[in-house]
Amino acid sequence: MNTHKYGSFYAHLPVNQARVLSQKLTFHFTPKHGSWLDKADRKSSQHKEARKILDEQKKARRDERRKQRRG
């Protein structure tokens, strides 16, 4: 059975059963060539870069506080 189309249910199952399955299921199609992976990878890289910047700022503030205490 081809599970990529609702018509497959009707071709292989009784109408009532096919209707129930068709109403319960939703197909989510993804691009064939992974363009959605590229988007996810870019987003992940942006988050990593933002985290790196925040960590550097946090370290700079901590170093400044230590310097002031010694001062």
Question: Which residues span the domain enclosing 65?
Answer: 31-71
Q: Quick check: 21 and 9 in contact, CB under 8 A?
A: yes
Span 5-39, pLDDT tens digits: 888 889 999 999 999 999 998 887 776 676 777 88
Span 37-51, pLDDT tens digits: 788 888 899 999 999
pTM of the model: 0.43
Burial class (CB in 10 A: 0-12, 13-18, 19+), 9: buried
Tell me how many domains the chain contains: 2
44 with 57, same domain: the answer is yes
The pLDDT-based confidence of 2 (bands split at 50, 70, 90) is low
* pLDDT above 80 for 4: no
37 with 68, same domain: the answer is yes
22 with 44, same domain: the answer is no
21-46 b/e with 16+ CB inside 10 Å = b?
eeeeeeeeeeeeeeeeeeeeeeeeee
Q: Which two tokens stand for residue 2?
A: 């081809």
